[in-house]
Amino acid sequence: MAKQKRSDDWGFPRWRSYGKAGREAARVRLCDREGCNEPGDRPAPKAPNSPERWYFCEVHAAEYNKNWNYFAGLSPEEAAKRAAEEASGANGFRHSAHWKWAGPGDDSRSRDEIRALDALELETDADFKAVKVAYRRLAKAHHPDLKQGDVEAAKRFQQVQAAYDVLKAAEDRRLALGAND
Ligand SMILES: [Zn+2]
């Protein structure tokens, strides 16, 4: 399978130029809600105690807060389940939209997973053990503590994190399904 070129608009977060074309155009981060092209300027926590944030437009920030009322009153298990659902995209929130342009998935792996494996420089048949090894290696290599002020490394670090999140969630789902058999 030919590797697709990684371009600047790797896709997540999505950015769009506002204002005049060319040099003066300001880059604006778009809303993280699936399918929304409004500027996303309202941060919302992805999970309790998580420093990670979504960025939504006003409408979707309100919707998000309303639907989630954020983990209030949830047990740790419930909160973890929600976080996993969110990571899987089950709630329609944009998590792995950055993998989206990939070709069709095979029977056992979703396109998101295949994209994630690609980001971790793995083949599509890599097992989770290989995922963990690759993740540790790449996260270390691009870690912001080591590469201070290196924007490319920071971007790559985020990709690696996001890819691992996708694969971890998939692995957890698979294990949960297996346990129910
Ligand atoms: Zn929106």
- Stretch 110-122: mean pLDDT: 86
So what's the pLDDT on residue 164? 93
How close is the Cα of 68 to the center of ligand 1, in Å? Answer: 16
How close is the Cα of 56 to the center of ligand 1, in Å? Answer: 5
Q: What is the mean pLDDT of the chain?
A: 72
How close is the Cα of 67 to the center of ligand 1, in Å? Answer: 14
Q: Is the pLDDT of residue 7 over 50?
A: no
So what's the pLDDT on residue 151? 85
How close is the Cα of 94 to the center of ligand 1, in Å? Answer: 10
- Stretch 156-181: mean pLDDT: 83
So what's the pLDDT on residue 136? 93
- Which one has a higher pLDDT value, 92 or 132? 132
How close is the Cα of 38 to the center of ligand 1, in Å? Answer: 5
* DSSP string computed for the chain: -PPPP--TT-SSS-EEEESSSSTTPEEEEBP-BTT--SB--EEEESSTT---EEEE-HHHHHHHHHHHGGGTT--HHHHHHHHHHHHHTTTSB-SSGGGTTS----SSS-HHHHHHHHHTT--TT--HHHHHHHHHHHHHHT-TTTSTT-HHHHHHHHHHHHHHHHHHHHHHHHHHHHHH-
Q: Quick one: pLDDT band at residue 39, thresholds 50, 70, 90?
A: confident
How close is the Cα of 14 to the center of ligand 1, in Å? Answer: 12
How close is the Cα of 117 to the center of ligand 1, in Å? Answer: 28
Q: Is the pLDDT of residue 34 over 90?
A: no
The Cβ-side half-sphere exposure at 21, using a 13 Å CA radius, reads: 0
Q: Quick one: pLDDT band at residue 36, thresholds 50, 70, 90?
A: confident
How close is the Cα of 9 to the center of ligand 1, in Å? Answer: 19
- Which one has a higher pLDDT value, 146 or 95? 146
- Which one has a higher pLDDT value, 31 or 73? 31
How close is the Cα of 36 to the center of ligand 1, in Å? Answer: 5
How close is the Cα of 62 to the center of ligand 1, in Å? Answer: 10
Burial class of residue 36 (count of CB atoms within 10 Å of its CB; 0-12, 13-18, 19+): middle
Q: Is the pLDDT of residue 3 over 70?
A: no
CB 113 within 8 A of CB 166: yes
Q: Is the pLDDT of residue 68 over 70?
A: no
> Rounded to whole angstroms, how far apart are CA atoms 140 and 149?
16
How close is the Cα of 131 to the center of ligand 1, in Å? Answer: 32
So what's the pLDDT on residue 129? 94
